[in-house]
Amino acid sequence: MSHARAGSSPAFGTIYKKSPVTIYDYRAFLIQCLHIAQVVPYNENMPPSQSFIVKNRVLLGTLVVLLAMSLIAGGWSIPFHFESFSILYKFGKLKIYLRYGKVIGITIALLLFFQVLLAARLQILVHIFSTKSVLMLHRINGFVITCLIAVHPLLIKASENFTPYTFGKKYYPEFVGMGLFFVLLTLSGTAIFRNFLKMPYSRWRLLHRLGATLVLLILPAHVLFVSNTFKSGAPRLASLTVFSLNLLFIFYIWLKRFFQK
């Protein structure tokens, strides 16, 4: 293995060769990973005080990622531990399609929550990851959401053998979901192809905020009423908490932008 050049970050191999292995070795490994991903700047020759700050940022960043993963894992467990009537009365591959369609739907809702937190550019996130990294995570998260919203309705309709919905009050949560589908695709498409569409940044930003606000306002009407899973108990409490935080942070974003003018 080639040795690292002077002044550059040490090679991964030098981390593993330390003996005995301590928690600081794993911390150094995390720092190297985040340095390569350009999430936190690091140099082995930096002053001890600056090195301490970077190491703490790595630990805090790790805790933030683990918390986000825990929330997603908790969301994934809902269709398994709080089965809706529609899941209970399906069998075979139709049950699998529906269950995992709901898993993806819950994932989308949680990623939208993370998207709002990233868009708010909270000081604690900027301090841990830097403004550039928060923006990069916002774009990556948006791309993941776009991919998932293309899969979610396909799995749900596959569980119903692609039977079309009839117009009526009974299916209004599904039609709300269709509206969300098109609004989210529009938001993603205009973000990706803004330059191609020759949209001025100020106009695109305003439309993006308005569209995102619309999504967060109507999302609860889809999630809370599309099945009986979220009509009571822990799933309803958790979803109401997330939706309330969504509205709180979107209000914070509008307020922050208003006073920055």
Answer yes or no: is 13 within a domain: no
φ, ψ at 202 (rounded to 5°) = -65, -40
Interval 17-55: pLDDT, tens: 443 444 445 555 455 555 544 445 545 455 444 544 556
Query: What is the rounded distance in angstroms from the CA atom of residue 227 to the CA atom of residue 174?
Result: 10
Answer yes or no: is 25 within a domain: no
Q: Name the domain count of the chain.
A: 1
> What pLDDT shows up at residue 53?
56
Q: Which of 215, 216, 229, 188 is nearest to 103 (CA)?
A: 229
Query: What is the rounded distance in angstroms from the CA atom of residue 91 to the CA atom of residue 87?
Result: 8
Answer yes or no: is 46 within a domain: no
Burial of 3 per CB tally in 10 Å (0-12, 13-18, 19+): exposed
Least confident of 8-12, 34-38, 175-179: 8-12
Sequence-distant (≥ 6) Cβ neighbours of residue 238 within 8 angstroms: 74
> What pLDDT shows up at residue 212?
92
Query: What is the rounded distance in angstroms from the CA atom of residue 179 to the CA atom of residue 255?
Result: 27
3-state secondary structure of 130: coil
> What pLDDT shows up at residue 90?
86
Answer yes or no: is 202 within a domain: yes
Range of the domain at 227: 83-260
Query: What is the rounded distance in angstroms from the CA atom of residue 102 to the CA atom of residue 47?
Result: 50
Average pLDDT, rounded, for the chain: 81
Amino acid in position 162? F
Task: Quote the radius of gyration of the chain (alpha carbons, Å).
Answer: 22
Query: What is the rounded distance in angstroms from the CA atom of residue 101 to the CA atom of residue 106?
Result: 9
Interval 185-221: pLDDT, tens: 999 889 888 888 888 988 998 899 999 999 999 999 9
Interval 50-74: pLDDT, tens: 544 556 777 888 899 999 999 999 9
Answer yes or no: is 148 within a domain: yes
pLDDT band at residue 107, thresholds of 50, 70 and 90?
very high
Answer yes or no: is 43 within a domain: no
> What pLDDT shows up at residue 30?
52
Answer yes or no: is 127 within a domain: yes
Answer yes or no: is 161 within a domain: yes
